[in-house]
Amino acid sequence: MKRKGILVTGGAGYIGSHVVKTLGEAGERLVVLDNLSTGFRDAVLYGDFIEGDTGDDVLLDKIMRDYEVEAVMHFAAHTIVPESVENPLKYYGNNTCKTRTLLESCRKAGVSHFIFSSTAAVYGIPEGEFALETSPLAPINPYGSSKLMSEIMLRDLSTASPLRHVVLRYFNVAGSDPEGRIGQSTAKATLLIKVAAEVATGKRDRLCIFGTDYPTPDGTGIRDYIHVSDLADAHVAALAYLRAGGESRTLNCGYGHGYSVREIIDTMNRVNGTPIAVEERPRRPGDPPRLVAGVERIREILEWTPRYDDIELIVRTSLEWERKLAARKAPEVCQRESPAR
């Protein structure tokens, strides 16, 4: 019997391509939709690829019919926090409005399962040591707000239809495929470990630390870094959970512990063998001092056990991928680390 399809939007991007790889290795029937605005065609290792946009309702309806789509994994989004502040309508238009178009197509096609790529940015600046799924939702930038609006639409559609969903709220995603087949190739990346690897390989001249006077042990911000391959495994576990009849859930994706910016730099220096150039800058408004996931729910509900919870391994796979990239990009002055993603 021919398997029903899984639609992966944004599957040529950093996280989406790792999930496509994991699903493909499991023998799933995949169709990847990506407009290649930030993704790369050669990062899609499995399934059929369609260049197109999640805002194209005619194309979406055709894909749903042609592939008998059973499940959607939705990664397509803009993700740069400072840009969202500068151009909020771009983020609401792409992240929120196009998600609404995708959900409408899912409703018409009778899609059963939906897994949504969300973010810890929905929490804003959480109180307490950990951000829990029950923590107040108070995003402090349009990126977080655009994702929260999509979560609300998905919740309401699931209430009004047979669609069931899992929302996965990512913390700071890092690392690359340990086999070295794919990695993070995003131009002008903002994620700390990626930027540090670019400095180590000469693609940027230095890394900027924004804030050295936070109430943390070394004065720099603390984040929960999760390896992208563990995150991909969480998506596969979420699909298995829904297929087994699981009810709709919202779950944090992290390890439950964090590292400071200085600790990440020290790890990169150790792995690289040569210190990278660093410049200290003042704090940026809105960056939380600490953002670490509460992870009890995802481990219990999805029976998910991380395999790559090792900061040195995460940094090493990032650096190894950076060294493999053929195209060398012009040096950039400073990284702009998003508070979560």
Residues that are catalytic: 143
Please give the structure tokens belonging to residue 119.
């973010």
Q: How many CB atoms lie within 10 A of CB 167?
A: 22
Please give the structure tokens belonging to residue 111.
């899609």
CB 173 within 8 A of CB 231: yes
CB 216 within 8 A of CB 129: no
CB 78 within 8 A of CB 53: no
Residues 6+ apart with CB under 8 A from 285: none
Amino acid at position 107, single letter:
R
Distance of CA 2 to the CA centre of its chain: 31
Distance of CA 5 to the CA centre of its chain: 22
**Residue whose entry in the numeric block shows the structure tokens 């508070």:** 339
Residue 144: left (phi > 0), alpha (psi -120 to 50), or beta? alpha
CB 111 within 8 A of CB 104: no
Amino acid at position 152, single letter:
I
Distance of CA 236 to the CA centre of its chain: 15
Residues 6+ apart with CB under 8 A from 120: 131, 169, 170, 171, 224, 252, 254, 291, 293, 339, 340, 341
Q: How many CB atoms lie within 10 A of CB 3?
A: 12
**Residue whose entry in the numeric block shows the structure tokens 């009004």:** 160
Residues 6+ apart with CB under 8 A from 110: 162
Q: In terms of residues, how long is the chain?
A: 341
Three-state DSSP state, 101: helix
